[in-house]
Structures are given as C-alpha cells and as structure tokens.
Amino acid sequence: MSDPAPPDADGLSAEALRALGWRLDAQGWRGLRLDARGPVLALAGQPPGPRPPARLALPPAALAGLVAGAARQRGWREPYRATRPRPGTLGYQEALRLLGRWLDRREARLVRLIEHGDGLIVQHRAPAGGAVATILVPWTDLASWHRAAVRRRASAPRWPDAQGA
C-alpha cells in the first residue's frame, strides 16, 4: 500500500480532505468553514450539542495524523467503517472526498471552503500559482457526483481478502 499524499502548504490532498470529513461527520460538526492558505488549516464551525461555534487550528502534523489514521482504518487488519450522516444528506466525508478528487484531477489546491445553504463555496488555486477561482458547488451536484462515484466503486475489481478468497 502506498503512503497517502501529505497535505502541503498550498492546500490539502484528497486524502487529507477525506480524513478530515470523516472526523467532522463522526463528531457531528455543521456549518463548516476551512481556510487552507497557509501551513496550518483553520477550521471553524458548529460542534455538536449546545456549544458555541468553535475555531480550530490544525498544523500539518495533525492533518498527517488524520490521514495516517484513515489509512490504517482502510487496511485489511482494521475494517473501514464510514460514518453515516443524517438520512438523505451527504456527509462531510463524502463531500470533501469528492471535492478533493475534483481538485486533484485539475491539479488545483484548496484555498478556502465555506458551507453555504445551497452548497459549498470553494476557492481554489490553479496549478503553478495561478489565480484563485471561486465557485459554488451545489449540494445537488455533489449528490450527483456521489451517485456516480458509488457506481464507479461498485464496478471496480475487488482485491482478495487476507485469506486469498
């Protein structure tokens, strides 16, 4: 198994976004806002329960730990269990995974992500230090991307389990 791509100072890899999304879903966060313009990821949002909105700073070592933990969970020894968001909704794990793949395919880096009622506002930088672009990715588009990803994963060949079955 290859090592997951580490987060860098210009943005986050798809693996880092996926791992972060899993943690946010598992802890029940809402109202997400990410700022990845420097080496430390700034995260703001609403933690679960009657607590006030919170701000966190995640240095590269913390993100690398999330990625490594997610990779271990997907290993053969420890089965991976996706968190389940509210029925009929797309969780952060899948939404951030999809956005990470979209950014990786364009060789773009996430600069900022803001949760909006209609979707996610994504600011990203083009390769080689290009201009920053801002787009709104509607929840309906993310749901469509998710359905396509599930179909793609379902049709992919499966690796044999540890017993060779």
- Tell me: the pLDDT tens digits for 15-64? 788 888 888 988 899 999 998 877 788 899 999 889 899 999 988 888 88
The long-range contacts involving 142-146, CB below 8 angstroms and separated by at least 24 positions, are 142/90, 142/94, 142/95, 142/98, 142/99, 143/90, 145/98, 145/102, 146/90, 146/94, 146/95, 146/98
Which tokens in the block code for residue 37?
């313009």
Q: Quick one: pLDDT band at residue 74, thresholds 50, 70, 90?
A: low
- Tell me: the pLDDT tens digits for 145-165? 888 888 887 787 765 554 444
- Within 8 A by CB and 6+ apart from 122, the residues are 99, 110, 112, 113, 134, 135, 136, 137
DSSP 8-state secondary structure symbol assigned to residue 120: E
**125 or 79: whose pLDDT is higher?**
125
pLDDT at 6: 35
DSSP 8-state secondary structure symbol assigned to residue 11: B
Alpha carbon separation from 131 to 24, 51, 127, 142 (Å, rounded): 29, 37, 9, 24
pLDDT at 44: 93
Torsion angles phi and psi, residue 150, rounded to 5 = -65, -45
